[in-house]
A and B are shown apart, each in its own frame.
Chain A
């Protein structure tokens, strides 16, 4: 199951662990990604906290935690190859995995159809 936020993050759920990345729409808007600052494994975030930063040459954008939980893994490949965010944003360009404090929080997020409608409304 994949969910989305208004801030252009996708969340893929596997049990109580969610893998988080940014959407294709977001990577296009950001331009060439040159660096991703990822959280530390073990850190705890509440929904809405700043958890990561995506940098292009002339801009930096914060990524907010979509849900409350603990970081269990980060995508270390992004350190050497930040371009993955552009080339494969919904696959190998994932950012981090978060163990959810409350799986029911997922219900507040958008499904794909809702997100697509949200994006369509932006253009």
Chain B
């Protein structure tokens, strides 16, 4: 077997050194009746054979890059420069462990420090952690952190929050006595969504969670929400599922957020059918000790050279056990490296340009959709995503267009089944979308509706 270096002779010599005759003598603590069960699975295969099998499975799927592609809603198809993947495949990054031995892990630690700084700058916050699993779990962690900070337990999840995110918050807190108030999306009028969130805040509220751009793509000024939250000593948690938007839209920090969580996939990371992704988590300095997850900090070595270490680990499970701020024990290390490499390539100049291109494509998409009879565009302010109302079932239309080789977007019904939103379709347009793609979509959608 190509991954196993020991030879039969090696094994015999080693067993002799140990002083046993047979390998199963080393498994003598396993109940005899349960040792070496029959395992009904195929036997070993060559690299070529495995590659053939998996390529066949991959070939049954429609890759995003192979068709006009407008699917977004929390995960976005962006171009990732070739450099990113080459850097993250360096064995020193790929095959390193969590940097618990800082003398031989400064590579990982320095990029984490750079990553934390980039995330803090992008979100407009003081500090960020070294990443979480993904945006949805980061949101749940933020709600629990708000409870620790405010010592209140009523969390308001606005209608703008992605259905999966609210489901993750509800699942994660179901066995605590947290009171999670879930509000319905109002795709046609985001101001109503905002007002509903403002109205729901009371003195018992620990936090209000608002996504911007919202799940339907709308962008809002959250300053009034921040003001309302702070008036009741509640925290404003802003969720950003499209981190590229921070290159064009005012940051959550500037709008008054206390915690910003988000999905970092858009920078440096592929779609990967939903994972691995990269949870972003940023907050203000005064809440640092209530943060979940790993943190990297600066220090010096005994020669006085600048270096970095994981720090404030007394918050974490391996020290606090049942009193930890979270049970989390990982970050999305390599995904955060991809983010940092891509961000270094972009710089804010590139990020701003790219964000503008995204918005331009979405404006083009809006114009094309508005021109189709029977289609209504619901957004007035947006980044790279819009929601349209179609006559009839959006799911049926998406399925029909998929047959003809266009992936048109996400029907709201997929995220909100049975909530009366069957005629709504969320569509994203990133820099990967061309004029031809939009024209193709328009003509096929027009045909489908006629």
Are A35's CB and B289's CB within 8 A? Answer: yes
* Interface of A: prevailing SS: strand
How many A-B contacts are there with CB distance less than 8 Å? Answer: 17
B313 within 8 A of A: yes
- Nearest A residue to B318 via CB reads A58
Are B313's CB and A58's CB within 8 A? Answer: yes
Sort chain A's interface into a size bin. Answer: under 10
A114 within 8 A of B: no
B232 within 8 A of A: no
- Nearest A residue to B321 via CB reads A60
Chain A residues, Cβ within 8 Å of B319 = 58-60
B164 within 8 A of A: no
- CA distance in complex: A56, B323 (Å): 16
**For residues 304 through 335 of chain B, which have their beta carbon under 8 Å from a beta carbon of chain A?**
313-314, 319-320, 323
Are A60's CB and B320's CB within 8 A? Answer: yes
Q: Mark A18-44, 1 if CB is under 8 A from B, else 0.
A: 000000000000000011010000000
A73 within 8 A of B: no
Chain B residues, Cβ within 8 Å of A55 = 314
Q: How many residues of B contact A (CB 8 A)?
A: 6
Chain B residues, Cβ within 8 Å of A34 = 314
- CA distance in complex: A59, B319 (Å): 6
Known A-B contacts A60-B319, A60-B320; A37 and B313 likewise in contact (beta carbons under 8 Å) = no
Which residue of A35, A55, A59 has the most chain B CB atoms within 10 A of its CB atom?
A55
Are B320's CB and A37's CB within 8 A? Answer: no
- CA distance in complex: A2, B319 (Å): 32
Chain B residues, Cβ within 8 Å of A59 = 314, 319
B149 smallest CB distance to A (angstroms):
13
- CA distance in complex: A16, B286 (Å): 33
Chain A residues, Cβ within 8 Å of B323 = 60
A78 smallest CB distance to B (angstroms):
13
Chain A residues, Cβ within 8 Å of B320 = 60
B255 smallest CB distance to A (angstroms):
29
- Nearest B residue to A53 via CB reads B314
- CA distance in complex: A55, B319 (Å): 10
- CA distance in complex: A50, B447 (Å): 69
- CA distance in complex: A60, B319 (Å): 7
- CA distance in complex: A60, B314 (Å): 6
- CA distance in complex: A106, B323 (Å): 30
Chain B residues, Cβ within 8 Å of A60 = 314, 319-320, 323
- CA distance in complex: A56, B289 (Å): 14
Closest A-B pairs by Cβ, 4 of them: A55-B314, A60-B314, A60-B320, A60-B319
Q: Please list the residues of chain A having a beta carbon within 8 angstroms of any beta carbon in chain B.
A: 34-35, 37, 55-60
Q: Please list the residues of chain B having a beta carbon within 8 angstroms of any beta carbon in chain A.
A: 289, 313-314, 319-320, 323
Given contacts A56-B314, A60-B319, 12 further A-B contacts (CB under 8 A): A34-B314, A35-B289, A37-B289, A55-B314, A57-B313, A57-B314, A58-B313, A58-B314, A59-B319, A60-B314, A60-B320, A60-B323
List 17 contacting pairs A-B, 8 Å CB cutoff, sorted by A.
Answer: A34-B314, A35-B289, A35-B314, A37-B289, A55-B314, A56-B314, A57-B313, A57-B314, A58-B313, A58-B314, A58-B319, A59-B314, A59-B319, A60-B314, A60-B319, A60-B320, A60-B323
